[in-house]
């Protein structure tokens, strides 16, 4: 689950990281009112930033500065409704504009292969790290931190010095540790600050201070660990999620779209994977992974069928049910119910064994729906592949 910048910044603040204040506006008028407050508090300019889950908003025109409240309203008006890489901007972040002295890159990312948390840093901040990795890989430094031992003092110092922040290494090392902690505390896969910037502030008495601040934040949470953080669920942005994913999650189904033409409905994750292997071996390509779970009731089966058929490339459906807790007759009724609601004529091959398999076969045979019952799993797979026209 990807978090919008304003939500990611909340988590950075909770981890004790320095983040300049912000507010969120959904209308230009609201942005104007918020800008007035920043100006009243002494801001020279305000920054208005599109809140969309893609990188490179700055380049796309989604990050702008404004010197007056009226200008803030106009800028917000231009950004709200803007299309950035196919996503419509519905919200903007508003804050006092930072006076940037220099930009850096700092991130913590789960490195599965290394079984560690990788802390990555660069003095080349502000630009996308992929670009730096291509053009100047030596400008990126990274260390591996053990998830239980944490980012060690010497590692944090190493990061600080490598960023060219030797003169403020304590501050930089503290921030590196905070980024690591934010990842651990929230079970995130990625916590990225780009730019982390040295920001200049001029006090009322004219005194100049400089400090590191997180001006942007990108966090990706591990979906499989979200149950441990129910309070983070409210940070989910449903507007930017695939409606199919939203529906599958609501139904408690594990559903993952793939590129093929054969829709697969299976109970049990292992059986679902084995089924996909068999489809591939028979020369077909699965259109999805779908585990309808144990004890699937007919309404869930019907809903799962809707999800499969929402993908236009599906040309055949293969149902593979091993009836244990799930009863074959219940699944068969669900399939017939789904067939009745089906808006597209897609052939369906069914293999049901186990609990009430005989009853299931009879129900399907008598249904007059044209659903084919296969005598074996191999036969079911062969038939589905043939129906999808792949093996021809």
- The DSSP secondary structure of 89-131, one letter per residue, reads ---EEEEEPPEEEEEEEEEEEEETTTTEEEEEEES--SS-HHH
Identify whether the C-beta of residue 81 lies closer than 8 Å to the C-beta of residue 25.
no
Distance between CA atoms of residues 260 and 285, nearest Å = 4
Which of 2, 9, 57, 236 touches ligand GDP by CB under 6 A?
A: 57
Please name which of 257, 238, 359, 347 lies closest in space to residue 307, comparing C-alpha atoms.
257
Q: How far is the CB of 47 from ligand GDP (least distance, A)?
A: 4
Q: Name the segment binding ligand GDP (CB under 6 A); options: 48-56, 238-246, 292-300, 365-373.
A: 48-56
SS3 content of the chain, % helix, strand, coil (to 5): 40, 30, 30
Q: Would you tell me how many other CB atoms lie within 10 Å of the CB of residue 185?
A: 13
And the tokens for 117?
């948390």
Phi, psi of 336 (to 5 degrees): -65, -40
Which of 194, 220, 298, 355 touches Mn ion by CB under 5 A?
A: 194
Q: Name the segment binding Mn ion (CB under 5 A); options: 23-31, 208-216, 256-264, 314-322.
A: 208-216
Give the length of the chain.
392
260 near ligand GDP, rule: CB under 6 A: no
382 near Mn ion, rule: CB under 5 A: no
126 near ligand GDP, rule: CB under 6 A: yes
216 near ligand GDP, rule: CB under 6 A: yes
Instruction: Mark whether 105 is an active-site residue.
Output: yes
Q: Which residue is nearest to ligand GDP (CB)?
A: 58
Set 5, 73, 192, 330: catalytic member: 192
- Contact map string, positions 328 to 357, toward ligand GDP, x by CB under 6 A: ------------------------------
Question: Which residues make up the interface to Mn ion (CB under 5 A)?
Answer: 194, 216
Question: Which residues make up the interface to ligand GDP (CB under 6 A)?
Answer: 47, 49, 55-58, 63, 97-98, 100, 103, 126, 194-195, 215-216
């Amino acid at each position: 689950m990807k978090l919008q910048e304003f939500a990611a910044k909340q988590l950075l603040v909770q981890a004790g990281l320095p983040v300049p204040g912000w507010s969120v506006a959904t209308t230009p008028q609201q942005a104007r009112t918020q800008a007035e407050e920043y100006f009243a508090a002494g801001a020279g300019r305000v920054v208005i930033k599109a809140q969309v889950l893609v990188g490179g908003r700055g380049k796309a025109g989604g990050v702008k500065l404004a010197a007056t409240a009226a200008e803030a309203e106009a800028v917000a008006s231009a950004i709200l409704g803007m299309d950035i890489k196919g996503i419509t901007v519905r919200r903007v972040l508003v804050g006092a504009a930072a006076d940037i002295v220099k930009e850096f890159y700092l991130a913590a990312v789960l490195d599965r292969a290394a079984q560690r948390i990788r802390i990555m840093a660069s003095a080349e901040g502000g630009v996308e790290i992929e670009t730096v990795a291509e053009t100047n890989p030596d400008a990126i430094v990274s260390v591996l931190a053990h998830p239980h031992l944490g980012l060690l003092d010497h590692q944090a110092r190493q990061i600080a010095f490598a960023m060219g922040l030797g003169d403020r290494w304590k501050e930089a090392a503290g921030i590196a540790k905070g980024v690591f902690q934010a990842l651990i505390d929230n079970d995130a896969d990625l916590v990225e600050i780009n730019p982390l910037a040295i920001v200049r502030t001029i006090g009322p008495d004219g005194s100049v201070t400089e400090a590191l601040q997180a001006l942007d934040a990108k966090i990706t949470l591990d979906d499989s660990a979200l149950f441990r953080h129910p309070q983070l669920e409210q940070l989910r942005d449903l507007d930017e999620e695939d409606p199919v994913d939203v529906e599958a999650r609501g139904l408690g189904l594990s559903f993952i779209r793939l590129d093929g033409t054969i829709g697969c409905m299976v109970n049990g994750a292992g059986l679902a994977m084995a089924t996909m292997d068999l489809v591939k071996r028979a020369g077909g390509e699965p259109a999805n992974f779908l585990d309808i779970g144990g004890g699937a009731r007919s309404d869930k089966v019907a809903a799962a069928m809707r999800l499969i058929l929402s993908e236009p490339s599906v040309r055949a459906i293969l149902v593979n049910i091993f009836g244990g807790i799930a009863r074959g007759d219940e699944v068969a009724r669900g399939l017939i119910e789904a067939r009745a609601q089906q808006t597209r004529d897609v052939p369906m091959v069914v293999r049901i064994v186990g609990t009430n398999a005989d009853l299931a076969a009879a129900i399907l045979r008598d249904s007059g729906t044209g659903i084919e019952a296969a005598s074996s799993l191999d036969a079911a797979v062969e038939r589905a592949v043939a129906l999808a026209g792949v093996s021809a």
